Amino acid sequence: KDEIIILAIETSCDETSAAVVKNGRTVLSNMISSQIELHRRYGGVVPEIASRKHVEMISPIIDEALEEAGMGFEQLDCIAVTFGPGLVGALLVGMSIAKALAYALRLPLVGVDHIEGHISANYIAHPELEPPFLCLVVSGGHTHLVWVKDYGEYSLIGQTRDDAAGEAYDKVARALGLNYPGGPAIDSIAKHGNAEAVQFPRAYMEEDNFDFSFSGLKTAVLNYLNSLKQRNESYNVADIAASFQQAVVDVLVTKTIKAAQKIGVTRIAMAGGVAANSSLRECMKQKAQECGFELYYPSPVLCTDNAAMIACAAYYSLMKGKIHDLSLTVEPSFSN
Ligand code: KG4
Ligand code: ZN
């Protein structure tokens, strides 16, 4: 068959998404229903609320994805779904409907690792991109440096030992009185701040250590804020946001470039919600150019959670014959 149409479902966190993708890289539809407004008043994602909203939204979103793509169920060749990592109740909603569809339509079912999905967003954004490359995956739940050796073939070069980069953004933003999610809020206010205003720590910068740690940085920002408040001193939120962001970006860029040099790839990609960050994009672009690497990153919608990236990853699994049966289960935690 020369045209493979995949319907993909993504419900790992607070976005209910369904997409129809042709031959892995041509997006016919990518519908995303965000729950951000629902969770904002709690300052973060509330798992039970997320699951319930997924249950409510999943069928309409699938219908919309098919309609937008101009497709009926009978034209589909495969059902793809995120099996983890993520919130267990949220993942189960997508998994249940994906299995039901695969069973009823007698189609192959492909379970996709969420992180592999994020990486694959780059294939959609850059039709010419092929492995091998090094990918920095930075989102609310993950900070991973992944060596993409081939389609579906990965080697983990480094990861966070505590907080993920996006998690640090969200927690610092909350302390600064900014709205959830904190990443975009810090991104925009930092544009008006001085990134040199406060020297926050950069963790594990020594040679050959490609792991990350952001909890020390987060604590440093919180302590700094508390000491100012105790002394009743006024402070500039933009300066603190910019200085925090600079610390995160310095670490991410330095380690990614060093890792790329060490393993000897010529291309670097970025993925995940934090890859939408304007300062990270700018600094990585500059450093990559200086050091002779080609740099790839998806548009902001493809950086944050969406089902098109899941369909893309599923396509390459399907091409390798990697399909699942109905015993597929969700895996909430990350495993190498
Ligand atoms: O990939 P994603 O949508 O979900 C996960 O898989 O976690 O990433 C969400 C994370 C949140 O922590 C959010 O604050 C962060 O990505 N984020 C950003 C930006 N946009 C989203 N962080 C920094 N700058 C941004 N522009
Ligand atoms: Zn994600």
270: CB partners within 8 A, 6+ apart:
135, 136, 137, 138, 280, 281, 284, 295, 296, 297, 303
82: CB partners within 8 A, 6+ apart:
9, 10, 11, 12, 91, 94, 111, 112, 113, 114, 117, 310
- Measure Cα distances from 56 to 19, 45, 98, 190, 207 in Å: 17, 17, 15, 36, 49
Give the CATH number of domain 131-298; options: 3.40.50.1820, 3.60.21.10, 3.30.70.20, 3.30.420.40.
3.30.420.40
Whether 124 contacts 27, CB under 8 Å: yes
- H or E segment to which residue 212 belongs: none
Nearest-CA residue for atom 23 of ligand 1 = 183
Q: Ligand 2 mean position to 254 CA, how many Å?
A: 23
Atom of ligand 1 nearest to the CA of 164: 12
Q: Is 273 annotated as a binding residue?
A: no
- When pLDDT is cut at 50, 70 and 90, the band that residue 336 belongs to is low
pLDDT digits (tens, 9 = 90+) for 95-135: 999 999 999 999 999 999 999 999 999 999 999 999 999 99
Interhelix angle 237-263/165-175, rounded to 10 degrees, is 170
Residues, the chain, total? Answer: 336
Nearest-CA residue for atom 10 of ligand 1 = 140
pLDDT digits (tens, 9 = 90+) for 136-173: 999 999 999 999 999 999 999 999 999 999 999 999 99
Of 17, 26, 7, 157, which Cα lies nearest the Cα of 71? 7
Q: Where exactly are the structural domains of the chain?
A: 5-119+303-319, 131-298
One fold for 5-119+303-319 and 131-298: yes
Of 250, 256, 249, 263, which Cα lies nearest the Cα of 211? 256
Q: Does domain 5-119+303-319 have CATH number 3.20.20.70?
A: no
Q: Ligand 1 mean position to 276 CA, how many Å?
A: 7
Q: What predicted TM-score, i.e. pTM, was given to this entire model?
A: 0.96
